[in-house]
Structure 1
Amino acid sequence: MISIKELTKQTGVSVRTMRYYDEINLLPPAGKTEGGHRLYSEKEIKKLQEIQFLKSLGFRLIEIKEMLSDKNWDWEIGLKNQLNYILQEKQRIIQIEKTLKGLLNTLKIENSVDLTYINKLIQLYQSKNEQQNIFRDKYFHQGERKLLNKLPKMDSDDPHSLEWISYLVDLKKFKHKGANSPEIQQIIHCMYEKAIDTFGENDDFFNKLWEIRKSPEKSTKMGFYPIEQDILNLIEEAWDFYENKRH
């Protein structure tokens, strides 16, 4: 038999937790000293390990109490139910993760904190509804729709998406210098090389994307992140200047 303090040293479970387990009759001590101190045997230590393991799987204490006390407990049903719950929680956490990443990326671009505005943007680019798919099918053939999967994602922190986001941030930063300035032309050069590297030489695809991007209504239907008109005008003017220099 060991004392509660010795048990906490061996297991790392706090004295307060052990007392609570006793109070709810989840893990009563094997006995007590004359002074009223709790004592635990190997049996209680083993049960404590079982409790901690089941807790690590996401089971609640009330469930654990029933599982360990009911000899007729159906473990298959219990474990399947817990697995379904964990899978649902996993999807919820993944969605929260994407939302936080999208929030951070939006803040990089907007350089301000307007939670109502940002929340609307997040809802926009997270929306994967049937109308979006219909709109995409209308404009892009099957081969091009595969290329759409390579577009940057605002709710991601993959290097590909972050690179495109950085170009948009830099365009806003240097827009006052004009479309043919060295700073803007360098950004356009990087965008051009990135586009060719990602999508290949595909003028029809680029032209369709740009037609949609220039239209606020079509961009919304596609689920694109909204870009201010002055930035779109800057990109178009700078791109034409860059193309003329290349040729």
Structure 2
Amino acid sequence: MREDPSVVARPTPVPRSLVPLAAAAGALAVAAVTRSTHRERPPRPVDPGPAQAVDDLLRGERRRQEALAARLHDGPLQGVISARQDLQEHLAGEDVDLRETLEALGEAVTALRDLNTDLYDAVLRDSGLEAALRRAADTTERRGGPPISVAVGPGASGPHDALVVRVANELLTNVRKHAGAQAARVRLVRGVDGEVHLSVTDDGVGMDPDVLAAAARDGHLGLRSITRRVTDAGGTVRVRPVGPGSEVEVRLPGGV
């Protein structure tokens, strides 16, 4: 018997007694799919946020300070304590070989210089060139030097950044000890020739260029050491008077 197309088939109604059971089955199916979907998704990484980053920085700084304290205690401090004891015994009339005392002090000075270099290198590595130069200026001011401004131009960083910081630090030490200046300036730029130009200028008593050249040759003002290191790196050092005061300009190759 053929079905009449005008007659629409109707779904068999679900008995009322089975409606709660069907609803529960549907809910279980949705929950199962949801759990499966959650299992398939990889867990999202937890963003530690700024607080964690700050905490990591503080822990790193504490570790550096502890390492610094250990190096000071085990190295130069022991030499200074030993030298002090030798001098006290000498003043008390005891027979002390002061040549050994001088040797111990020399070793302590060398260790302190190495430590100072490592500190600036750490700032340079962690915070950049301008921060390292600013630290050198701040240190000079705290030790009795004049106010010092620091200016670093764009693109001034180069392959000799560590040398730039060390030279700037030594030149600022000269300003503090010898210039009698009221102000000083550190300026670092990259010239049109591609070289890195470092200048340290002060408004102090100034010096005749011939006198400065002689001082450099004789090892005074630290200029001989600076000139040797800069020359070894392919650079040049020039000292000139600027009004009241003087300027030391260092040029270094800027290529990588």
TM-score by length of structure 1 reads 0.28
Q: If each structure's helix is expressed as a fraction of its own residues, which one has the higher value? A: 1
Structure having the higher Rg: 2
Higher strand fraction (1 or 2): 2
